[in-house]
Structure 1
Amino acid sequence: MTAAVISPTLPVLDVRGLTVGVRQQAGFRPILHDISFTLMPREIVGIVGASGAGKTVLSKAVVNWLEAPLAIDGGEVRFEGADILGLAAGDMRRLRRRVAYVGANPMGALDPTLPVGRQIVEKLMAVVPGSSRRESERRAIELLEAVRIPSAKSRFHDYPSQFSGGMMQRALIVDALITNPALLVADNVTQPLDVTVGAQVIRLMKELARDFDTAVLFVSSSLPVAREAASRILVMGEGRIVEEQATEALIANPRHAYTVNLVEQTPKIWSGGAATQPQATQSLETGSDREVVISLRDVSQIYRVKKRDSFAGVNEVRAVRDVTFDIRRGDSFGIVGESGCGKSTLMRLLSRLELPESGELLCHGGDIGKLRGKGLLDFRKRLQLVLQDPFGSLPPRTAVGRMLEEPLRAHGWRDRKVIRERVLKVMGDVGLAPELYEELPLGLSAGQRQRINVARALVLDPEILIMDETLSALDQTEQFKLLDLFQKLQREYDLTYIFISHDLAMVRKVCNRVAVMYLGAVVELAENERLFFDPGHPYTKALLSAMPVLETRRYQPEDCLLDGEPPSPIDLPTGCCFKTRCPLAFDKCDTISPSLMARGNRNFAACHLVTSQAAPPNSQSGGQPGPRETEYQSA
């Protein structure tokens, strides 16, 4: 790659008095008001704010990518000195070589019917006439390797469905960078990613800015994430820039009330704040006298996929490997790990959307794999899911009340008056106005839609709620509100939560126990305080070091941060599966796979460096306790 020649003294992007809104019959309704800022070569500027602040509209306006009914009502967007808003279509197409945009929906951004590499090559050949296919393929593979896609030459031919979310986001960055742009607009690119991949993406953007003079406009809903990436931050509220400061100065001394609120709502991990003691544990009994509601006993799941260039050969993907733990009544149990570690597969097993290849999954002592007929229907009522996507999970042409009535009707409710009373009660519990009963979800905010999903799960009065990345699509303010709502609902409904998430700050705030997964296996199982202040596995420490925070880090990224993707679950390495990425690996790790070792009461880690502490009361092992003995016989 050859760096573009750009004047280091002139701004790459100069926005002056930009006003954008919606043209309607009733007139013009502004969304952005008089926005002005500059962006210099090699500079990364962050834009933060809640949903509805206008961040995405601004990010598309600066690349001249607005569609009706959105329209620009005034101002200029000067790129390398020229106002791009008045450019003809042909000139704008040529400009696309110099300006790139990456959004927050990696899985929906590429054609699912074409290999990823082919799509990147076709873009390069379209915007750089005269490029040969061979040279374009070489350039694409070179960039895929630069963003740390493992086995880039092989993955070049894979389809989007074969990429994890983290790899897809990096592939989109390659798609954006293939023409060596002078300006990269990154709109919430780390929001759908786990913390380690997000940290790698931010590090990559810093390298691009440094090595290739690329200026980056980094849009984010998270102030800690923007802090990691940007040297200067613009805070947006209600379509206006309410504050602009150097990053560290803004965090240390926010001036505007809106910024002060953003800083105060950022969860604290290691210092002060409500997160120090998870609120979910305050009303719970301690010890093992609480009833076990879910038990996993050596649960494994294997998928068989056709080998490439083979007629009948198959590969075995070991998605979940020998997972064993208990979840007790009233728990807020967290399951964390990188993309592809097996979290979602475990969710499908817990909810009986799939049956395990081996092992037992018990609910109140009964094997859910053997449930049929009414027993299965009763289990569906007892355990409910709240999924990640607040937009795609709701039927757009069904009224809110009708959506919430359907589960009741499916479970035999017939009295219309009773059904309506139940639905309105639950809507009130989750903070939805009764006026929304007859409304369609179109036009509702992401937070309102996610409250509908929570209400749809609660309407049957379940015992267990599985939250699969439920908050990952929401901004920091909405997350803060919903976390408080979840804790209130747990008290009122006597709920047991299972949080599946890559957001460790959220897990710190609400979960009393946490399982850390790597390559399908649980590598650490610990109580909240022990996990965050004294992790027993190097992988857990790496996850904690990659967390974007506003406070002083307890673990430093340079000591712990992981590179690349985990090994393939098709071809697991011998010995410890984490050895290829572990800074502490030694000879024993090459040949022996560690089992979970006790680190005191109810805390375990699968690492050879763990010195097994005394077995809990009632352990019959007489030596170092195994995972099943320690977990199910602990006090």
Structure 2
Amino acid sequence: MSLDMVRNEVLLSVRDLSVAAEGEGGALRPILDRISFDLAPRQILSVIGESGSGKTVLARTIASWLSAPLTVTGGEVLFRGRDLLADPAHARSLAGREIAYVGGNPAGALDPTMTVGAQLVEKLRAVRPEITPAEAKDKAIRLLSAVRIPAAERRFHEYPFQYSGGMMQRAMIVDALISDPALLIADNITQPLDVTVAAQILKLMRELNAEFSTAILFICSSLPVACDASDEVMVLHQGRVVERQAPAALVTRPGHGYTRALIAELPTLWQGGPEGRDERQKRDQRAIMSVNGVSKAYETRGKSGKALVQAVRDVTFDVFPGDNFGIVGESGCGKSSLMRLLTGLERPDGGTILFEGENVGAASPARLRELRRKFQLVLQDPYGSLPPQSAIGAILEEPLKIHRIGTAAERRERARAVMSEVGLPADIYESLPTGLSAGQRQRLNVARAMILEPRLLIMDETLSALDQTEQGKLLDLFERLQAQHGFTYIFISHDMTMVRQVCSRIAVMYLGETVEVAPSERLFFEPGHPYTRALLSAAPTLEPRRYRPEDCLLDGEPPSPIDLPPGCAFASRCPSVTTRCRAENPALRTRGRQALAACFLVPDPSVTSDEPMEQSDV
């Protein structure tokens, strides 16, 4: 059967679908307003729109996962011609079998008392009882490997708490794909992932779409990702479909003002950037944070006994006052482990972390508490990082109480002032955070960090859960706060577009090591390490690419941090590997203009290979 014939067979037909939220007194607030579209086998339709446009409500309605206070007020959802809204029992029988749903928040989605592999096998055999346990295991391991979970056969036997956030997201994608569904609803599945893994997930999604004639409804907050992933893009605005076009036509000839605004506000990789920050930075300043040869390993227990996971390996860099310093890399590269060391949540096994000249790793608990008044952490999860039972005002006042700062009246005044600074309305002071949007929650997290008036803010994937509109608003906020208070920022992120927009200097991590440190302009236009080029080739953008994915994207898996190979850890995936790379591990070496790279292929011709590296270069 030809592709056109397959696509003529409409699998999903949504007709005049309307959904509303029930408020006090039974009043209904419209969320979706007369949504209509068709989706055929082997077709991928992306749905794009800002937070609150109704994307996730649409996805959950089709998946029969709608719950109070949301209610369907009109329309039909026809799957193979049968209305799922009119027959809830039939809709439930399709869930997880013919219709699969995977969201972008994997936390808590799996049973913590069972291994990931056992849960995947149980899911597959529940929907396909004719498959033997051995066949189910083989398929689960094959899919875990396909979504680039390292050492898939070993990870099959691990528990959810042993997976990183990125790995958990990939495991949930496997959970959705394992039954070979006819319709896959993918709700922001790439947003929490680093760029190379996201690119591989999109590739896997297209392969599934072609091989099994799977129709895919791809809910997305990034217009470049939506265009890259799909055959057509449908734009939602305030609960209505305002436009639907093929990606190329949408970008070159947008028909609606909202679409044009989305395109206009997109940040760029190779146009603009943090101009002038490199020149303004004074290298004769004392570093506010200096990281020197820091390493950290974690003990784990496997089938063959105890082993060490080499999470952070000999990391070195300086962060100067007023700097915006970025740390980027794939999931599992050691970014979050490094964050725990920088903030004193854990102590390094080797090396030193100096904050204003004082060793954070050697500080007593009492002294570390005092130091934390000067450096604060803002986490990724806008939902799990706030206590749901505490009022917003109480959340903000808590750090002041812990450090015994001010009277009750002074703490309240300070909390209200910080709320105003980050753009939170004063009338929510006594409210719980449950009614806040993701963007508002992150503003509250920033306010909670600011209230102690720290000198350094460490942002660990703080914006990764937000859509591009909310990200832009928060970045504007960070710039304004930096101008007002002189903050220094460390941005830990997988989002190359975001770090390009705000960071003056960037460190690239791979398998626990820093493989490149460079000013933003130099790193994006003249990357010194092939891994950096791979990250740039996979970054979602509507710009013409400087680095082609087919030339740079990575094959295979990173080596296991438990069993590191000799030589360069990137050698097994590098398109330009040499014999020397497999035998020696290159150290960071200067390549001029405050840039360093750990690669034998890019020595600076103006210096000798054994020239000592100056601390000011790092």
Scaled by the length of structure 1, the TM-score of the pair is: 0.93
The offset of 1:547, in angstroms, is: 0.3
SS of residue paired to 1:85: coil
Residue identity opposite 1:164 in structure 2: S
Which is further off, 347-356 or 413-422? 413-422
Q: Do the aligned residues in 2 keep the contact of 1:291 with 1:328 (CA within 8 Å)?
A: yes
Specify whether residues 168 and 135 from structure 1 end up closer, same or farther in structure 2 by C-alpha distance, changes over 3 A only.
Answer: same
Question: Which residue of structure 2 lines up, in the alignment, with residue 625 of structure 1?
Answer: 611
Specify whether residues 94 and 428 from structure 1 end up closer, same or farther in structure 2 by C-alpha distance, changes over 3 A only.
Answer: closer
Q: What is the CA deviation profile of residues 282-319 of structure 1, one whole-angstrom value per residue up to 9, with x for unaligned ones?
A: 8x7334122311111111111111232x5xx3211111
Q: What is the CA deviation profile of residues 240-268 of structure 1, one whole-angstrom value per residue up to 9, with x for unaligned ones?
A: 11111111111112221211111111101
Specify whether residues 76 and 280 from structure 1 end up closer, same or farther in structure 2 by C-alpha distance, changes over 3 A only.
Answer: farther
Question: Which residue of structure 1 lines up, in the alignment, with residue 8 of structure 2?
Answer: 9
Equivalent-residue separation in structure 2 for 1:426 and 1:546 (angstroms) = 38
The offset of 1:336, in angstroms, is: 0.4
SS of residue paired to 1:438: coil
Q: What is the CA deviation profile of residues 341-400 of structure 1, one whole-angstrom value per residue up to 9, with x for unaligned ones?
A: 111111111111111101111112221223236532331100000111111111112111
SS of residue paired to 1:106: coil
Residue identity opposite 1:277 in structure 2: G
Q: What is the CA deviation profile of residues 105-145 of structure 1, one whole-angstrom value per residue up to 9, with x for unaligned ones?
A: 12322112111121112112222344432332233333334
Matched, 1:478 2:470: yes
The offset of 1:69, in angstroms, is: 2.6
Equivalent-residue separation in structure 2 for 1:87 and 1:498 (angstroms) = 52
Matched, 1:277 2:263: no
Q: What is the CA deviation profile of residues 193-237 of structure 1, one whole-angstrom value per residue up to 9, with x for unaligned ones?
A: 000000000000111111111111000111111111012101111
Matched, 1:292 2:287: yes
Equivalent-residue separation in structure 2 for 1:319 and 1:148 (angstroms) = 18
Q: Do the aligned residues in 2 keep the contact of 1:382 with 1:464 (CA within 8 Å)?
A: yes
Scaled by the length of structure 2, the TM-score of the pair is: 0.96
**Deviation >6 Å, runs of 4+:** none
SS of residue paired to 2:107: helix
Equivalent-residue separation in structure 2 for 1:145 and 1:623 (angstroms) = 39
Equivalent-residue separation in structure 2 for 1:601 and 1:179 (angstroms) = 53
Equivalent-residue separation in structure 2 for 1:623 and 1:609 (angstroms) = 11
Which one of the candidate residues 542, 549, 556 is aligned to 2:548?
A: 556
Question: Which residue of structure 1 lines up, in the alignment, with residue 59 of structure 2?
Answer: 59
Q: What is the CA deviation profile of residues 531-551 of structure 1, one whole-angstrom value per residue up to 9, with x for unaligned ones?
A: 000000000000000000011
Which one of the candidate residues 298, 302, 305 is aligned to 2:297?
A: 302
Alignment of 1:342-361 (within 5 A): 342-361=334-353
Question: Which residue of structure 1 lines up, in the alignment, with residue 405 of structure 2?
Answer: 413
Residue identity opposite 1:624 in structure 2: D
Q: Do the aligned residues in 1 keep the contact of 2:281 with 2:323 (CA within 8 Å)?
A: no
Residue identity opposite 2:614 in structure 1: T
Equivalent-residue separation in structure 1 for 2:356 and 2:94 (angstroms) = 64
Which one of the candidate residues 332, 350, 353 is aligned to 2:324?
A: 332
Equivalent-residue separation in structure 2 for 1:104 and 1:373 (angstroms) = 36
Question: Which residue of structure 1 lines up, in the alignment, with residue 165 of structure 2?
Answer: 165
Specify whether residues 240 and 307 from structure 1 end up closer, same or farther in structure 2 by C-alpha distance, changes over 3 A only.
Answer: same
Residue identity opposite 2:504 in structure 1: N
Sequence identity percentage? 54
Equivalent-residue separation in structure 2 for 1:66 and 1:609 (angstroms) = 54
Question: Which residue of structure 2 lines up, in the alignment, with residue 186 of structure 1?
Answer: 186
Q: Do the aligned residues in 2 keep the contact of 1:430 with 1:485 (CA within 8 Å)?
A: yes
The offset of 1:614, in angstroms, is: 4.0
Specify whether residues 208 and 169 from structure 1 end up closer, same or farther in structure 2 by C-alpha distance, changes over 3 A only.
Answer: same
Question: Which residue of structure 2 lines up, in the alignment, with residue 199 of structure 1?
Answer: 199
Residue identity opposite 1:233 in structure 2: V
Question: Which residue of structure 2 lines up, in the alignment, with residue 124 of structure 1?
Answer: 124
Residue identity opposite 1:507 in structure 2: V
Question: Which residue of structure 2 lines up, in the alignment, with residue 85 of structure 1?
Answer: 85
Specify whether residues 148 and 341 from structure 1 end up closer, same or farther in structure 2 by C-alpha distance, changes over 3 A only.
Answer: closer
Equivalent-residue separation in structure 1 for 2:604 and 2:520 (angstroms) = 19
Equivalent-residue separation in structure 1 for 2:273 and 2:6 (angstroms) = 52
Alignment of 1:239-254 (within 5 A): 239-254=239-254
Q: Do the aligned residues in 2 keep the contact of 1:200 with 1:563 (CA within 8 Å)?
A: no
Equivalent-residue separation in structure 2 for 1:544 and 1:37 (angstroms) = 35
Specify whether residues 359 and 452 from structure 1 end up closer, same or farther in structure 2 by C-alpha distance, changes over 3 A only.
Answer: same
Which one of the candidate residues 456, 460, 463 is aligned to 1:468?
A: 460
Question: Which residue of structure 2 lines up, in the alignment, with residue 528 of structure 1?
Answer: 520
Question: Which residue of structure 2 lines up, in the alignment, with residue 20 of structure 1?
Answer: 19
The offset of 1:624, in angstroms, is: 3.0
Question: Which residue of structure 1 lines up, in the alignment, with residue 369 of structure 2?
Answer: 377
Q: Do the aligned residues in 2 keep the contact of 1:280 with 1:510 (CA within 8 Å)?
A: no
Equivalent-residue separation in structure 2 for 1:278 and 1:395 (angstroms) = 35
Q: Do the aligned residues in 2 keep the contact of 1:598 with 1:613 (CA within 8 Å)?
A: no
| Structure 2 gap segments, 5+ residues each | none
Matched, 1:568 2:560: yes
Equivalent-residue separation in structure 1 for 2:572 and 2:95 (angstroms) = 43
Q: What is the CA deviation profile of residues 466-497 of structure 1, one whole-angstrom value per residue up to 9, with x for unaligned ones?
A: 00000001111100000011011011111110
Residue identity opposite 2:78 in structure 1: R
Specify whether residues 503 and 280 from structure 1 end up closer, same or farther in structure 2 by C-alpha distance, changes over 3 A only.
Answer: farther
Specify whether residues 485 and 280 from structure 1 end up closer, same or farther in structure 2 by C-alpha distance, changes over 3 A only.
Answer: farther
Equivalent-residue separation in structure 2 for 1:178 and 1:286 (angstroms) = 51
Question: Which residue of structure 2 lines up, in the alignment, with residue 618 of structure 1?
Answer: none
| Structure 1 gap segments, 5+ residues each | 616-621
The offset of 1:94, in angstroms, is: 4.5
The offset of 1:432, in angstroms, is: 1.2
Alignment of 1:489-500 (within 5 A): 489-500=481-492
The offset of 1:88, in angstroms, is: 4.6
Matched, 1:507 2:499: yes
Q: Do the aligned residues in 1 keep the contact of 2:595 with 2:617 (CA within 8 Å)?
A: no
Matched, 1:101 2:104: no
Specify whether residues 361 and 142 from structure 1 end up closer, same or farther in structure 2 by C-alpha distance, changes over 3 A only.
Answer: closer
User: Over aligned residues, Cα RMSD in angstroms?
Assistant: 2.1
Specify whether residues 357 and 71 from structure 1 end up closer, same or farther in structure 2 by C-alpha distance, changes over 3 A only.
Answer: same
Specify whether residues 143 and 295 from structure 1 end up closer, same or farther in structure 2 by C-alpha distance, changes over 3 A only.
Answer: closer
Specify whether residues 462 and 254 from structure 1 end up closer, same or farther in structure 2 by C-alpha distance, changes over 3 A only.
Answer: same
Residue identity opposite 2:260 in structure 1: V
Q: What is the CA deviation profile of residues 2-43 of structure 1, one whole-angstrom value per residue up to 9, with x for unaligned ones?
A: x99x94422111111001122454233221100001112111
Equivalent-residue separation in structure 2 for 1:95 and 1:332 (angstroms) = 46
Q: What is the CA deviation profile of residues 575-601 of structure 1, one whole-angstrom value per residue up to 9, with x for unaligned ones?
A: 111000000001111101111121103
Specify whether residues 244 and 371 from structure 1 end up closer, same or farther in structure 2 by C-alpha distance, changes over 3 A only.
Answer: same
Question: Which residue of structure 2 lines up, in the alignment, with residue 577 of structure 1?
Answer: 569
Equivalent-residue separation in structure 1 for 2:172 and 2:95 (angstroms) = 19
Q: Do the aligned residues in 1 keep the contact of 2:150 with 2:560 (CA within 8 Å)?
A: no
Specify whether residues 88 and 422 from structure 1 end up closer, same or farther in structure 2 by C-alpha distance, changes over 3 A only.
Answer: closer
Residue identity opposite 1:437 in structure 2: Y
Question: Which residue of structure 2 lines up, in the alignment, with residue 210 of structure 1?
Answer: 210
Residue identity opposite 2:528 in structure 1: G
Q: Do the aligned residues in 1 keep the contact of 2:84 with 2:90 (CA within 8 Å)?
A: no
Which is further off, 235-244 or 138-147? 138-147
Equivalent-residue separation in structure 2 for 1:517 and 1:70 (angstroms) = 43
Q: Do the aligned residues in 2 keep the contact of 1:597 with 1:610 (CA within 8 Å)?
A: no
Specify whether residues 225 and 280 from structure 1 end up closer, same or farther in structure 2 by C-alpha distance, changes over 3 A only.
Answer: farther
